[in-house]
Amino acid sequence: LHCGRWREALTLLLQAVEAFDACEAAPHQRLEARTWLADAYLGVDLLEEAAQAYAEVMASAREHQLPVEEAWATLQWAQVQRRQGRPAEARPAVERARVLYEDTGNVPCVALCDLLEARLLAAQQAWAPAVEQAARAEASLRDANVPPWWMEARIAHAQAAAAIEPAAEGAARWAGIVADAEALSLVPLQRAALAGGGQALAATGQTARARAVLTQALERSEEAGALAQDDELASGLLADAASAHALVTLGLQSGQSVQVWQDIERGSARALRWSLRAGPAGGAEAGEPGHRLHALRDRWRRALGEGEAARAPEVAREIQTLEREILEAQRALRLSAVPRSSAQPTDLA
C-alpha cells in the first residue's frame, strides 16, 4: 500500500477484512484493516467504495472512542467528497477532523486539514481565503519537517494565488517550487510543479519557456511510466492531460496551427499507448462510455480546427470527467475479478 501498489494491496486487504470478520477479531484489528482498505480504494480512484469504507470506519471509531482513527477517516472522507466535486459537503467533515487532531495535539495533521480546506475553498473560487489557508498549512508543514506534504501545500498555495496575484510574481513562486520538487524525486509532485510552472510562464507571455517546461512535465511522466504499476500509470493520466491541453492552448494563442495539430496528435498517441498498456476494460459495459469519449474528442478537435477556441475548455472538462468514469469502471471490473479468501477463522487464531 505504501509503495503505491494499490491493486495488489486491495487483493490482500479484501481478504484480510473478510478473515477478520469471520473470526470476530478485536475491534481495533478490524478497524485498522478497513482503514487501509479505504486508503487503497482512494488510491485507485474507486471513490464510491472509498467513501463507504471511510464512513464505516468513522462510525466504528466513534463507537469505540478512537479519535485518531476517526480523524483520519473523516479527513479522507472529505478528500473523497472534494474529488467527487462536492466541496460544500466536505467542509464540515474537515472541521470535525481538525477538532479531533487539535484535541490529540497532532500539529502536522491539523496542517493537512488546513491544506484540504484551502483546496475546497479554491474549488469554490474563494481565492483569498484559499491562499490564506494554504499559506498556514505551508508554514506548519515546513516547521514539522514533512517535505512531501510541505511541497503539496506550496503547490496548492501557488495554484490559488495564481488567480489573484500578478503573473510575474506567480512565475517566480513556481520556479522555486519546481527546483525543490526536483530535489525530492517524487514524480507526482514534479509533474504538478512543472505543469504549474509552465502555465505561470505562459501567463507572462514567455511562450517558448512555457512550452519547454510543459513538455518536460510530460516527458517526466513518460520516463516514470516505464517503471510504474498500472494503477500508478492511470492515476497520472488526468494530470498529464491537463499539461497536454495547456500546450494546445499555447499553440492557439500564438497562432501556430501546425504546432497545435502536432500537440493534439502527440496527446492522442500518448493516450493510446497508455490504454494499450492498461488493457481492455472488458465487457460490453465499456462500449458506451468509449463511444462517448471518442465523440467528445472529435468535438474538441473540431472546436480547435474551426477556430472556436472558447468551446474547447468546456469540452476538455467533459473529456476529463468521462476519462475518470472509465478508469473507475475499469478498476472496479478488475477488483470484482479478485478471488475471495477461503481462510477459516482458525487460520488467524
Q: pLDDT 10s per residue in the chain (349 long)?
A: 777 777 888 889 999 999 998 898 888 889 999 999 999 998 888 889 999 999 999 999 999 999 999 999 999 999 999 998 899 999 999 999 999 999 999 999 999 999 999 999 999 999 999 999 999 999 999 999 888 899 999 999 999 999 998 988 988 999 999 888 888 777 778 888 888 888 888 888 888 888 888 777 777 766 555 444 444 434 444 455 555 556 656 655 566 666 655 656 666 655 555 554 444 444 434 345 555 665 666 566 555 555 555 566 676 667 667 666 666 666 666 555 555 444 443 433 3
pLDDT given at position 154: 94
Q: Torsion-angle region of residue 85: left (phi > 0), alpha (psi -120 to 50) or beta?
A: left
**Rounded to whole angstroms, what are the CA distances from 74 to 26, 99, 141, 191?**
22, 11, 20, 28
Q: How far apart are CA 27 and CA 8, in angstroms?
A: 24
Which pTM was predicted? 0.69
Cell of 214: 510543459
Answer for the pair 31, 60: CB distance below 8 angstroms, yes or no: yes
* pLDDT score recorded for residue 32: 92
pLDDT reported for residue 200:
86
Smallest CA-to-CA distance from 197 within 187, 185, 211 is with: 211
Q: To which residue does cell 481495533 refer?
A: 28
How many CA within 13 A on the CB side of residue 312?
A: 22
Angle at 70 between CA 69 and CA 73, to 5 degrees: 85
**CB atoms near residue 191 (< 10 Å):** 22
| Ramachandran area for residue 307 (φ above 0: left; ψ -120 to 50: alpha; else beta) | left
For residue 227, which of 187, 195, 200, 266 has the smallest C-alpha distance? 187
Q: CA-to-CA distance for 158 and 124, rounded, in angstroms?
A: 16
Largest CA distance in the chain: 70
Give the separation between CA 26 and CA 28, rounded to whole angstroms: 6
How many Cβ atoms sit within 10 Å of the Cβ of residue 349? Answer: 7
Are the C-beta atoms of 203 and 170 separated by less than 8 Å? yes
Using an 8 Å Cβ cutoff, are 168 and 200 in contact? no
**pLDDT attached to residue 291:** 57
The single-letter DSSP state of residue 338 is S
> Cβ neighbours of residue 29 under 8 Å, at least 6 residues apart?
20
Distance CA 249, CA 275 (A): 24
* Closest C-alpha to 115, from 135, 97, 100: 135
